A and B are shown apart, each in its own frame.
Chain A
C-alpha cells in the first residue's frame, strides 16, 4: 500500500519535472536565437588548422574542455584500477578461450585497427576524430581480452601508467609551453597548429582507449583470494 502510494507520488513528480522541462524548452525555442557562435566559428575556421568544425571546436577553440575531459578520464581509470580486486589486470584465469572467437578475431582485429587509424586521420576534414577512434581501439582491446590474446601491457607497470597519462600530459605540455612562450594558455603557435593537433589527437586516442580498456578489465572480481569477505554476515 505504502509502496503503491510512493510509486504514484514519484511518477507524479517525474511527470511534473518533464512537463516543466518541456515547457521551458518550448519557451526558449520561441525566442529567436541571438547567439553569434556559429558565425564566429565559420569566420575563424581558417585559423583553426583543420577543416572539420567539430574537430576545430574540440581541439582548438574549446580545447580547455577537452583537456579537463581527458583529466576526468584518467582519474576514472586510476580509480577503477585501484578498486580492482585482482592482483594483476592481466590475469590468465579471467580470459576465456573459444576457437570460434579466435578465428573471428584473426579477421576482425586488423580491420578494427585500420578503422581506428582511419577515423583518427579523417577527423581533420570530415566526421571522425580522437574520441571515435579511441572507442574503436578500446573495443578492439576488449575483443582481444575476451578472445584470450595475451596483453602484457596491462600489467601494472610502466607501460600501463604511461598509456594512461600520455594523452593528458602531452596536452598539458602543449598548453604550458605556450604559456612559457608568452602566449595564452592553450594557444597553439599559428604555423604549427595542424601538426600539433594531429599529435595531440593521436595521444588522446591512445589514452582514451587505454582508460576504457583498463576500466573494462578491472571490473571482474576474483573471489578466489578472500572467499570469506564476500559472505554477508
Chain B
C-alpha cells in the first residue's frame, strides 16, 4: 500500500459524498458544488491508481490537467445557465424538487 492508493480511496469517498449531494440537495448552486466535488474524486482516482502501480506517470496527469480546465469551463457555463434560469423563473431549484417555490410532488 502506497500513499497514492490512499488518495485513490479518498477519491472514491469524495465520489460518494458528491453523489449524495447531487441527489439530495435541491439548491442548484449546491448541486454544482457537489458535481465539482465528484469530479475532484474522479481526478484523484485517475491519478492515484496508475501511480500506485508504476510510480509517477505523466500520461494520466496530462489527461487530468485537460479535465480540470474543461471542468472549470463547464462550471462557468452552469453558473451562467443557473443565473439565467433564476432570472426567468425566480427559483433556485428545479421544478418538482423539494425546495422549489411551488412545492411540487416529492
Contacts and interface: CB of A to CB of B under 8 A. Distances in A.
Contacts of A6: 106
Contacts of A83: 80-81, 84
B84 A232 contact: no
Interface of B is mostly: helix
Contacts of A2: 106
A21 B74 contact: no
Contacts of B88: 229-230
Interface in B11-52: 12-13, 15-17, 19-20, 23-24, 45, 49-50, 52
B72 A37 contact: no
Kindly list the 4 A-B residue pairs having the minimum CB-CB distance in the complex, ordered from nearest.
A33-B53, A18-B16, A215-B76, A53-B58
Interface of A: 2-3, 6-7, 10-11, 13-15, 17-18, 21-22, 25-26, 28-29, 31-33, 35, 37-38, 41, 53-54, 56-58, 62, 65-66, 69, 72-73, 76-77, 79-80, 83-85, 129, 131, 134-135, 208, 211-212, 215-216, 218-221, 223, 229-232
Given A57-B58, A62-B62, 4 more contacts: A10-B24, A33-B50, A83-B81, A219-B80
